[in-house]
Amino acid sequence: MQAAIPCSLMRGGTSKGLFFVADQLPEEPTLRDRILLAAMGSPDERQIDGVGGAHPLTSKIAIVKPSTHPDADVDYLFLQVSVDQSLVSGNQNCGNMLAGVGPFAIEQGLITPTEDETFVRIHMVNTGGIAIAKVQTPRGNVEYNGAARIDGVPGTAAPILLEFLNIAGSSCGQLLPTGNAIDQIDGIDVTCIDNGMPVVLIRAQDLGKTGYETPQELESDEPLKQRIESIRLQLGEIMNLGDVSQKTVPKISLIAAPQHNGAICTRTFIPHRVHEAIGVLGAASVATACILPGTVAQSLARVSPENSLHLLDVEHPTGFFSVEIELDKSSTPPDIKRVALLRTARLLMRGEVLIPEDTNA
C-alpha cells in the first residue's frame, strides 16, 4: 500500500510546489524529508516518479500550521527539495511560495476570512520574520481570479499584497553581513546583502558578461559557473552562513545597467540554476543594494536618491519585479522600515500525494 498524504499543489508567484498542513507530515525531519523527496520524485533530473517539475522553482514545499507567535496567525516553513540530489533544505526562505500561504491557510480552515479582504500574518519559520499577506476573500471564499499581472506568469489573477517588516539580516544577522558595502573576492568587487535573502551582487562585466544573456546562455558557461561557485563558497563563511556547499544561499545576482527603464538589470544564480525571473526576497535584497551608498549596484542603478520611499523595478529575464522600500535614513546603513510587493497565487489541485511503500522502511 502506498501512503496517501493530504496536500495541495499551488502556484505561489513564479514558483510551484506542494502545500501541507503540518500535522499531515511526520515531525521527525529525516522521515519527513524522505517522504518529501519521494513525493517530488527526487533525486532524478526529470523527477519522473513524483510531482516535482524538474527545476528548483517547481520543486518546493510549504508546511503551514497555526502559530504560537504573538504577532502571527500561521507558521510557514519552506523546504527546498533538490531535483537531482537526495537533499531537502530549510536554509532559505521563499517569498514566492509565501504568496500561496494565505490562500492555503484560508482554504484549510486555519484562518477565518474577514469580509472582502483577509489579512494573514505569517511567521516565516526559516528566518524568523513576519509577513502580512492581503488575500481577496469575497463572500468568505478565496478569490483567485483578478486583474493583477506579475511577470513570469501568463495571464492575470487576484492580487496578493505582501508586506514585510524587519527582514534585514534575516539569515546573516545584519543587512550588510560583512559590515561593508563592497568587498573584494578573487579580485572581483562584490556587495553582500541580506534584506530577506542573502544575495551577492556582482557586476556582470567584471565576470566578462553583459548581464543581458539568457538563463540558458549563462547556465551553459561552465567556467563562469565554476568561478561563481568558488566566490559563493568563500563568501558563505564570511556572510555568517557557514559551509554553503550543501545550501541554496547565498544567491548570486549578476547586475548590469537597466535595459528597459527599470532600476537595475539582473540575472540570478539560485545558486546553480539561473532564475527565469528573480526570487521575491532576492529582489528585495537587490533593490535595497541599489539605494544603499557605496554598493556595486549604486553606479549602475537608476534610482532617485532623495526620498525615503522607493519604488524600484528590478529587471530580470522575463520582465520586471517591482519592490517598494521604505527607509529611515537617520542611521548608517539606513534602517529598512518596510518592504512591500505584489504577487499572485493559484490553487492548482488538492488531494493526496502517494508515497511508495518502501519510503518508510
Secondary structure (DSSP) of 112-144: ---TTEEEEEEEETTT--EEEEEEE-GGGS---
Residue numbers 9-38 binding ligand NQM by CB under 6 A: 14-15
| Bridge partner residues of 194 (DSSP) | 198
Question: Which of 52, 95, 215, 333 touches ligand NQM (CB under 6 A)?
Answer: 95
Q: Give the residue from 218, 212, 304, 294 showing the smallest Cα distance to 259.
A: 212
Contact string (CB under 6 A) for ligand NQM, positions 250-269, x = contact: -x------------------
Note whether 133 binds ligand NQM by CB under 6 A.
Answer: no
Distance in Å, CB of 14 to ligand NQM, minimum? 6
Distance in Å, CB of 101 to ligand NQM, minimum? 12
Secondary element (H or E) of residue 265? strand 264-269
Distance in Å, CB of 167 to ligand NQM, minimum? 10
Q: Give the residue from 39, 22, 6 showing the smallest Cα distance to 360.
A: 39
Cell representation of residue 337: 522600515
Residue numbers 72-91 binding ligand NQM by CB under 6 A: none
Q: Is the CB of residue 267 less than 8 Å from the CB of residue 259? A: no
Instruction: State how far the Cα of 177 lies from the Cα of 235, in Å rounded to an integer.
Output: 10
Number of residue whose CB is nearest ligand NQM: 279
Instruction: State how far the Cα of 58 lies from the Cα of 167, in Å rounded to an integer.
Output: 25
Note whether 178 binds ligand NQM by CB under 6 A.
Answer: no
Note whether 298 binds ligand NQM by CB under 6 A.
Answer: no
Residue numbers 191-230 binding ligand NQM by CB under 6 A: 197
Distance in Å, CB of 225 to ligand NQM, minimum? 16
Chain contacts with ligand NQM (rule: CB under 6 A): 14-15, 56-57, 94-96, 197, 248, 251, 270, 275, 279-282
